[in-house]
Amino acid sequence: MQLDLYYFQPLATNSARVFLALLEKGVNFTEHAMFGPHFDHLKPAYLAINPKGQVPTLVCDGDVLTEGMLINEYIDEAFDGPALRPADPLDRFAMRRWCSYAENDLGRAVMMINWNRVVPDIAGNRAPEEMEKLLENVPDPDRRRSWLRAFRQTTPPAEIEESHKRLIEGCRLTEARLARHRWLAGDAYSLADIDFMCFCGLIADWMPELMNASTTPATMEWLARIEARPAVRELRERTQGLLM
């Protein structure tokens, strides 16, 4: 099977979780790295593959798969290698519950803060008019609005504060879970841990006041276990540049 993965460099959040799932399974794939400052995801060649202009996208023998959470379930089901979904139905429910929480709550809060941190830097030396014209090409209206607000630095403070509150709650919930279980879905490493590593790692780096050895010791121990995994070490080695 021919697999083509279109992903953002540096590897983080949504792109990293699919890249890592492929590494954990030992699947061979062709890399198509795209770079945010180049706005590769808004160029016609990529929009012909994924009209939403979102990353990552996995193309399997011509079939286009989008949405990171769903892509990862496909990867685990379609390929040999270590199982990334628990066999026990209740543990698999827990995995999906935590993946959904990462996708729809914690992840959105992280991305809200991320966009407002990095979009002005991504703009580089572009004139405001050029940058706004580029961002008008973002197909999804909600993402377009978020990027434009981040570039103009006009995101309402109340929305940023709400994202911070969600991160505080997410750190609390994650710590409570990991204080009782070695991994998020129970006794075995799973797609839930992959998803949360890609978001919680950023929280630990950006906001150590929320996630640290004193406040969230179980979470920090969990992150250390994940970072020691060979596939995660390879992911780090293959990440180009620095996460802003």
Query: For residue range 116-155, what is the model confidence (pLDDT) as tens digits?
Result: 888 888 888 888 899 888 888 899 898 899 889 999 999 9
**Domains of the chain, each with CATH number or no CATH:** 3-78 (3.40.30.10), 89-229 (1.20.1050.10)
Residue-averaged pLDDT of the chain: 92
How far apart are the C-alpha atoms of 34 and 41, rounded to whole Å? 7
pLDDT band, residue 36 (cuts 50/70/90): confident
Q: Are 34 and 6 in contact (CB under 8 A)?
A: yes
How far apart are the C-alpha atoms of 90 and 105, rounded to whole Å? 22
Residues 6+ apart with CB under 8 A from 16: 198, 235, 239
Is the preceding omega at residue 56 within 30 degrees of 0, hence cis?
Answer: yes
How far apart are the C-alpha atoms of 156 and 145, rounded to whole Å? 12
User: Which is more confidently placed, 113 or 7?
Assistant: 7
Instruction: Say yes or no to pLDDT of 224 above 60.
Output: yes
Query: Whole-prediction pTM value?
Result: 0.93
Helices H / strands E in the chain, number of each: 11, 4
